[in-house]
């Protein structure tokens, strides 16, 4: 069979996504497979089984990244694809999983056609992409490319107080493969857009050319608990008020900076968190992103200045802890152009895209020519059980991935 006519089996891809989504399924119809939990282990076990059933050589590295390798006719630098299968606590079934299962589907389609690419093909599953339990996000791929020492990664403590290295050992995925196991010739990740652009414009494929910078911090506020009824407002050192003020400041900061600036206070805890007690302590997280590095630094500067004045005015102490900081990334123009050509050849509408979300591909871009394929997210919803991508778009993305990988591996 000629490679040109190859198409993946969309029904099987949808069925596999459903099977994986059943692991960590939530009552709201979403997925909760936080990194290195029992659910993550079960998901990894299932994906490894699917890889072994296809005769892929499965290897696991010391940070738990796992790889399925399909030999090429030559033993040379492989073409890599893949993504992650860990989710946020209120995740959907496509974020990350589509990239992994489409990679497996590409292998199965080539096997069925009896086609062997010159370069080996590798499907990667990277540890802790979400960063929702252990910061930073994209941790496994960051370690893979040498951006974070292994021992430092092992020492990271999760939001539940568990140590990353212990959890990796506990689930049995602390492997011994050398790192980086592969220095790919090229890397392409298929992912849902997780934003509103493709869906709103009725376009099927996004050829992702760049990805915005990310700044994560935890802000700890220490004030003084006191009686909610007897304490005059002028005598308060209210950590709860400060947490709320930070949230409001972030909204005005995004508005003032404009452009692609986004600011999010995603997590907030108060202590003692009681109706009639002025909060003595508060912890909030801050997620700042911008496609422009200078603007992102300006956002960080303005937040730091605001926190100083807030501490002074409210008589509290405020400490910050950096959780993640990645500069904007430009992907490989040649690979992005190939994705655009393949989409056109397959008859799909396509447009260049910037990624608002972080992805493992941004780390692989430090190692080899890398780009991404996006498919639409209905109403741009993601990190939400309502996350949805139409089956025909899932298949279109996987077909574009298939032909892009085949061309890169020729």
Does residue 364 belong to the site contacting ligand HGY (CB under 6 A)? no
Contact in structure between 249 and 350 (CB atoms under 8 Å): no
What SS3 class is residue 227?
strand
End-to-end Cα spacing for the chain = 16
- Residue 382 Cβ, how far from ligand HGY at the closest point, in Å? 8
Phi, psi of 235 (to 5 degrees): -105, 10
Q: Tell me whether residue 96 or residue 184 sits nearer to Mn ion (CB atom).
A: 96
131 binds, among Mn ion, ligand HGY, none (CB under 5 to 8 A by kind): ligand HGY
Instruction: Count residues near ligand HGY (CB under 6 A).
Output: 6
Phi-psi region of 128 (alpha: psi -120 to 50; beta: other; left: phi over 0): left
Contacts 24+ apart (CB under 8 A), 233-237: 236/278, 236/314, 237/278, 237/314, 237/315, 237/316
List binders of ligand HGY among 251-280 (CB under 6 A).
Answer: none
DSSP state, residue 253: H
345: tokens are: 């050849």
The one of Mn ion, ligand HGY, none whose footprint includes residue 137, by CB under 5 to 8 A per kind, is ligand HGY
- Least distance in Å: CB of 98 to Mn ion? 9
Least separation in angstroms between residue 170's CB and ligand HGY is 23
Tell me the closest approach of the beta carbon of residue 405 to ligand HGY, in angstroms: 23
CB of 94 to Mn ion, least distance (A): 9
Nearer to ligand HGY, 93 or 403 (CB): 93
User: Among residue numbers 116 through 145, which ones bind ligand HGY (CB under 6 A)?
Assistant: 129-131, 137
Which of Mn ion, ligand HGY, none does residue 39 bind to, with CB < 5 to 8 Å depending on kind?
none
Residue 204 and residue 393 in contact, taking contact as beta carbons nearer than 8 Å: yes
178: which residues sit within 8 A by CB, 6+ positions away?
Answer: 61
Residue 96's binding partner, choosing from Mn ion, ligand HGY, none, with beta-carbon cut-off 5 to 8 A by kind? Mn ion
Q: Which residues of 198-228 are buried (b: 16+ CB within 10 A; e: fewer)?
A: bbeeebbbbbbbbbbbbbbbbbebbbbbbee
Count of residues making up the chain: 410
Exactly one of 124, 184, 240, 358 binds ligand HGY (CB under 6 A); that residue is: 358
Cα–Cα distance for residue pair 147/366, rounded to 1 Å: 9
**By the rule CB under 6 A, 357 interacts with ligand HGY:** yes
Question: Using CA atoms, how far apart are residues 262 and 23, in angstroms rounded to an integer?
Answer: 32
> From residue 81 to residue 120, what is the string marking binding to Mn ion with x (rule CB under 5 A)?
--------------xx------------------------
Site string for ligand HGY, 309-328 (x = CB under 6 A): --------------------
Q: Which does 369 bind (CB under 5 to 8 A by kind): ligand HGY, Mn ion, none?
A: none
What distance in Å separates the CA atoms of residue 288 and residue 262, rounded to the nearest whole number?
A: 6
Residues that bind ligand HGY (CB under 6 A): 129-131, 137, 357-358
């Amino acid at each position: 069979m000629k490679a040109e006519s190859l198409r993946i089996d969309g029904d099987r891809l949808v069925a596999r996504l459903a099977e994986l989504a059943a692991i960590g399924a939530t009552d709201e119809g979403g997925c909760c497979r936080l990194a290195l939990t029992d659910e993550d282990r079960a998901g990894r076990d299932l994906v490894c089984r699917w890889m072994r059933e296809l005769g892929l050589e499965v290897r696991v590295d010391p940070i738990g990244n796992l790889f399925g390798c399909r030999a090429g006719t030559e033993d040379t630098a492989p073409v890599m694809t893949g993504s992650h299968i860990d989710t946020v606590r209120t995740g959907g079934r496509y974020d990350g999983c589509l990239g992994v299962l489409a990679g497996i589907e590409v292998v199965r389609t080539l096997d069925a056609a009896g086609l062997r690419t010159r370069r080996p093909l590798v499907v990667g599953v990277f540890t802790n992409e979400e960063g929702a339990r252990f910061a930073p996000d994209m941790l496994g791929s960051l370690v893979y490319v040498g951006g974070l020492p292994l021992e430092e990664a092992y020492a990271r403590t999760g939001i539940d107080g568990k140590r990353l290295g212990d959890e990796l050992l506990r689930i049995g995925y602390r492997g011994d493969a050398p790192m980086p196991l592969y220095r790919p010739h090229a890397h392409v990740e298929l992912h849902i857009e997780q934003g509103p652009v493709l869906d709103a414009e009725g376009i099927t494929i996004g050829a992702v050319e760049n990805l915005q910078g990310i700044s994560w911090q935890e802000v700890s506020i220490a004030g003084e608990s006191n009686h909610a009824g007897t304490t005059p407002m002028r005598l308060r050192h209210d950590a709860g008020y400060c947490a709320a003020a930070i949230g409001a400041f972030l909204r005005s900061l995004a508005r003032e900076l404009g452009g692609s600036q986004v600011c999010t206070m995603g997590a907030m805890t108060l202590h003692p968190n009681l109706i009639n007690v002025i909060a003595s302590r508060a912890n909030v997280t801050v997620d700042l992103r911008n496609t422009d590095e200078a603007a992102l630094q300006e956002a960080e500067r303005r937040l730091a200045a605001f926190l100083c004045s807030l501490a002074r005015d409210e008589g509290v102490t405020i400490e910050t802890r950096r959780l993640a900081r990645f500069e904007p990334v430009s992907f490989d123009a040649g690979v992005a152009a190939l994705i655009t050509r393949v989409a056109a050849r397959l008859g799909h509408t396509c447009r260049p895209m910037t990624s608002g979300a972080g992805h493992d591909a941004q780390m692989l871009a430090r190692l080899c020519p890398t780009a991404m394929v996006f498919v639409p997210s209905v109403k741009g919803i993601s990190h939400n059980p309502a996350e949805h991508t139409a089956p025909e778009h899932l298949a279109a993305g996987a077909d574009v991935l298939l032909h892009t990988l085949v061309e890169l591996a020729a």
